[in-house]
């Protein structure tokens, strides 16, 4: 059975490609003389590589970044392998061999990885320097190592730890990166993520690497009113039912009706990324009507109050509010979690 023969979905995720393109152009402008690339790891932050990558490619993006080697095949179906970089770098000989075979660029994060890459034949790569986040990257003391000098480095990069805050660490990392990267013969330099772009021209260098803001996230107030919502989830009503006063809803009877009411059982649950943190806080929407959640979020469904939308029937679609800043405030989830947790049952 092909996808076209499948029954209609009860979950769908509308991708606003105009907003996606507009967000990239805005981030590219904010990057000044630097060019904005695109982080597309985790299936383009949950929105779907097959939709996102061609859209960004056609908009003008030429540098793409994933985290895992397993993400490579889906991406290079749409772009040249030389446009794609793998942030985690080669951990095994097989990773280095795969990079050599495909032409994808590894990001070298340690002297071990540098040696592994050189032993595989070397060639163009990127280099990550740790300037204070203490995740991946060679240390500042290792910048002058002979192994580093043997690398054919395209982009030397680092990653900001607190760009979404007005932290002294931002300026410290900028200073460390500026000094360390001067001693490395790379074609270009890259430091800023989405939030880093908003810190100003000093952080942009030659290439910026936005992720969250491309997809509608607002990591700093400077981006409010500039970045637009991209992901618009919708779910179908599976059943409409009448409650009597005293009837409870869902697991542990977390909600009990105090009067007769009409409710809808909606095809959306924590297996789809709509986590239990939304319980008793969230609401779905239909037109101008708000449909509060009743009881706990289940694995595959939620129950909502249809008092303000009695016209809704089985099979009707309702909207899942997903403006990321506001959704984060209500749910307690980060904007990153809200995007990347969107499950595969959404028809994208």
- What is the C-alpha to C-alpha distance for residues 131 and 169, in angstroms, rounded to an integer? 10
What are 277-318's pLDDT values in tens digits? 999 899 999 999 999 999 999 999 999 999 999 999 999 999
pLDDT digits over 105-122, tens only? Answer: 999 999 999 999 999 999
Question: Could you give the residue range(s) of every CATH 2.40.37.10 domain in the chain?
Answer: 231-340
Q: Is the pLDDT of residue 82 over 90?
A: yes
Which helix or strand (DSSP H or E) is residue 134 part of?
none
For residue range 214-273, what is the model confidence (pLDDT) as tens digits? 999 999 999 999 999 999 999 999 999 999 999 999 999 999 999 999 999 999 999 999
Beta strand residue intervals within 188-301, DSSP E: 188-190, 207-208, 231-243, 248-249, 255-256, 261-266, 283-286, 289-294
Fold of the domain built from segment(s) 17-216: TIM Barrel (3.20.20)
Q: For helices 111-119 and 93-102, give the axis angle rounded to 10 degrees.
A: 60
Digit-coded pLDDT (tens) for 156-190: 999 999 999 999 999 999 999 999 999 899 999 99
Mention the CATH class of domain 231-340: mainly beta
Active site residues: 41, 251
Quote the pTM value. Answer: 0.94
């Amino acid at each position: 059975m092909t996808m076209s023969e499948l029954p209609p979905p009860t979950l769908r995720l509308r991708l606003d490609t105009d907003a996606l393109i507009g967000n990239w152009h805005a981030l590219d402008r904010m990057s000044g003389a630097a060019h904005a690339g695109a982080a597309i790891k985790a299936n383009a932050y949950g929105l779907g590589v097959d939709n996102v990558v061609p859209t960004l490619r056609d908009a003008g993006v030429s540098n793409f970044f994933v985290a895992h080697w397993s993400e490579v095949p889906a991406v290079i179906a749409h772009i040249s392998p030389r446009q794609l970089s793998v942030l985690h770098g080669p951990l095994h000989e097989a990773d280095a061999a795969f990079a050599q075979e495909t032409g994808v660029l590894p990001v070298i994060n340690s002297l071990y990885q540098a040696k592994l890459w050189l032993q595989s034949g070397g060639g163009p790569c990127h280099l990550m320097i740790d300037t204070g986040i203490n995740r991946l990257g060679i240390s500042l003391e290792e910048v002058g190592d002979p192994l580093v000098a043997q690398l054919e480095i395209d982009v030397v990069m680092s990653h900001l730890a607190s760009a979404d805050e007005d932290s002294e660490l931002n300026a410290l990392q900028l200073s460390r990166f500026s000094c360390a990267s001067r001693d490395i013969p790379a074609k270009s330099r890259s430091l800023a993520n989405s939030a880093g772009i908003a810190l100003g021209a000093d952080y942009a260098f030659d290439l910026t690497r936005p992720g969250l803001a491309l997809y509608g996230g607002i990591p700093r107030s400077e981006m409010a009113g500039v970045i637009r919502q991209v992901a618009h989830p919708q779910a179908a009503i599976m059943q409409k039912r009448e409650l009597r006063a005293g009837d409870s809803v869902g697991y542990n009877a977390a909600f009990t009706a105090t009067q007769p009411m009409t409710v809808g059982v909606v095809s959306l649950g924590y297996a789809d990324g709509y986590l239990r943190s939304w319980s008793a806080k969230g609401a779905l929407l239909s037109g101008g009507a708000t449909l509060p959640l009743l009881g706990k979020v289940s694995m595959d469904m939620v129950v909502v109050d249809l008092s303000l939308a009695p016209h809704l029937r089985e099979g009707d679609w309702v909207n899942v509010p997903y403006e990321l800043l506001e959704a984060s405030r209500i749910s307690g989830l980060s904007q990153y979690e809200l995007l990347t947790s969107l499950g595969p049952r959404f028809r994208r």
